[in-house]
Chains A and B, each alone.
Chain A
Amino acid sequence: MSGIGTGYDVTPTTYSPEGRIFQVEYAARSVENSSTAIGIRVSDGVIFGVEKKIISKMLVKGSNRRVGSVGDHIGASIAGLTADGRRIIKQANSEAKSYKDLTSEAIPLNVLVDRISSFVQMHTLYASIRPFGCAVMFGSYNEKDGAQLFLVEPSGVSFGYYGCAIGKAKQSAKTEIEKLNLSELTCREAIKQVAKIIYTIHDESKDKEMELEMSWICKESGGKHELVPDDLIAEAEQFAKDNTVSTNILNFDNI
């Protein structure tokens, strides 16, 4: 059995004796090392929540965005190498523009995701370019198709989801998401739940301070991708802090 770094892992053009493409698997590890991002699809829209690490007190709040828009009707959220993620969002915008130029219509989400998956997968075929070290979630809401949420992984595989979590704490986040009754939630209620999940999975003892970034595409935002308004975020954060059990074992208040 070939393990890590046994010579079959230098380019994406090499299969290992077990039929694995290690470079693509390593790219997926980049995503697993990143801080967590979650996306959920509820009855009237899609919400993204990102756990942003504050690496320096000198950073202006809101900088280093992990969400982006494609056109104005599709939202995207990144986990992994953010710079790679921005490249993907740029490509998505380019696809959306060329689709609109051709058809005069906004690109449907499943068409966009199909093209982006192929774009990402193409980078796993050649020795001269490396795979993307990020996973990107895409979401949209319109009257005709309702809410839709997709995830594109570094291998180029994409699926539609009801709820999705990527990054370090994705397992715990997924467990929390499964507890929710997604089809009955509205966006307003869901914002609080998303904030609560992010606060729950954030490990205060191990990680640095975090900033919560949330965006939505829903009925309330008129089908446009926007950052969740500040007052709603504040309300959600309060709800989260009130309802999250601290993961710290040592809590000096109780001793």
Chain B
Amino acid sequence: MTSSAFGFDRHISVFSPEGRLYQIEYVYTAIRAAGNTTIGVRGEETVCVVTQKKVPDKLTDPTTVTSMFTITNNIGCAMTGIRADMKTAVQRLRYFAHRFEYENGFEIPVSHLARKMADFFQLFTQHAFMRPLGLAITLIGIDEEVGPQLYKIEPSGYFLGYKATCVGQKEQEGTNFLEKKIKKETKLNKDETIQLAISSLQSVLGVDFRPSDIEVGIVEKDSPKFTLLSEELIDSHLTAISERD
């Protein structure tokens, strides 16, 4: 008796008769349902990731609300999806990165970290005892050999490197918008990278941001440390964007 005959194909990660994994499909819905959108853009020497910062109520201390995390000094990520799962994923990323450095003596390449995390996510799609984490990870860093890197890791275990990526509630709109803006020959400097990321998010969500509505994280070739931009810097970029338009 197949488990789909009992109707479990929607409840645990087993194949449906049409060959679909319903639970994986529902995880993607969970990410969209969480309500935030994240955009990442890779320029010539800078990578930038922008995500929404929604502070749930007035009494919440806004300094404790964040979706951007440092993994190593030079690698950072934005998490989109179920907030409760974010810490688990961050701990795991940090563990992989530091274990690699301890065993090999040099910093983990961004692509390798992405692959390891993606393989970790894939485990949950095959084992019934645990659910997949309801998050997508947008990972950024400067690779010593290849330069700026932007990776997106999805809960199915699928991961790819990107020139620009969008994930979350407005994923489709964001991706379409970025595809129009970035052509094969597009070369972006630092300010252009950051401003493209911010303006894409503004356009896709249809709002004008205040500096406290978003979090912006960058790494650049000359200063590969993963840093979050201060509100003043975000404000200057927002002003530059509105003056351009």
Q: Nearest Cβ in chain B — how far from A129, in angstroms? A: 11
- CA A252 – CA B32 in complex, angstroms? 55
- CA A117 – CA B87 in complex, angstroms? 8
Check if A162 sits within 8 Å of B30, measured CB to CB: no
CB contacts under 8 Å to B, within A152-169, are 153, 155-164
Interface stretch (choices A9-17, A74-82, A92-100, A209-217): A9-17
Asked if B28 is at the interface of the complex by the 8 Å CB criterion, the answer is: yes
Asked if B75 is at the interface of the complex by the 8 Å CB criterion, the answer is: no
A165 to chain B: closest residue by CB? B59
- CA A153 – CA B84 in complex, angstroms? 9
- CA A157 – CA B65 in complex, angstroms? 10
Check if B23 sits within 8 Å of A14, measured CB to CB: yes
Which residue of B83, B87, B134 contacts A114 across the interface (Cβ within 8 Å)? B87
Asked if A122 is at the interface of the complex by the 8 Å CB criterion, the answer is: yes
Q: Evaluate whether A159 and B129 lie within 8 angstroms (CB atoms) in the complex, with A19-B134, A178-B58 already known.
A: no
Check if B10 sits within 8 Å of A162, measured CB to CB: no
Total A-B Cβ pairs within 8 A: 106
Interface of A is mostly: loop
Which residue of B11, B31, B60, B84 contacts A8 across the interface (Cβ within 8 Å)? B11
- CA A12 – CA B129 in complex, angstroms? 10
Instruction: Give the chain A neighbours of B131 by CB distance below 8 A.
Output: 12-15, 21, 125
Check if B61 sits within 8 Å of A159, measured CB to CB: yes
Asked if B206 is at the interface of the complex by the 8 Å CB criterion, the answer is: no
Q: Nearest Cβ in chain B — how far from A75, in angstroms? A: 17
The contact string, 1 if C-beta is below 8 Å from chain A, for chain B 77-91, is: 000001111011001
Instruction: Give the chain A neighbours of B63 by CB distance below 8 A.
Output: 160
Check if B30 sits within 8 Å of A118, measured CB to CB: no
Check if A122 sits within 8 Å of B134, measured CB to CB: no
CB contacts under 8 Å to B, within A99-144, are 110, 114, 117-118, 121-122, 124-128
Q: Nearest Cβ in chain B — how far from A172, in angstroms? A: 14
B32 to chain A: closest residue by CB? A19
Give me the interface of A with B, judged by CB distance under 8 Å: 7-8, 10-21, 24, 110, 114, 117-118, 121-122, 124-128, 149-150, 153, 155-164, 174, 177-178
Which 4 A-B pairs have CB atoms at the shortest separation, nearest pair first? A19-B30, A160-B64, A19-B29, A160-B61
Q: Can you give 7 contacting A-B residue pairs, CB < 8 Å?
A: A8-B10, A13-B131, A15-B131, A24-B84, A110-B64, A121-B84, A157-B83
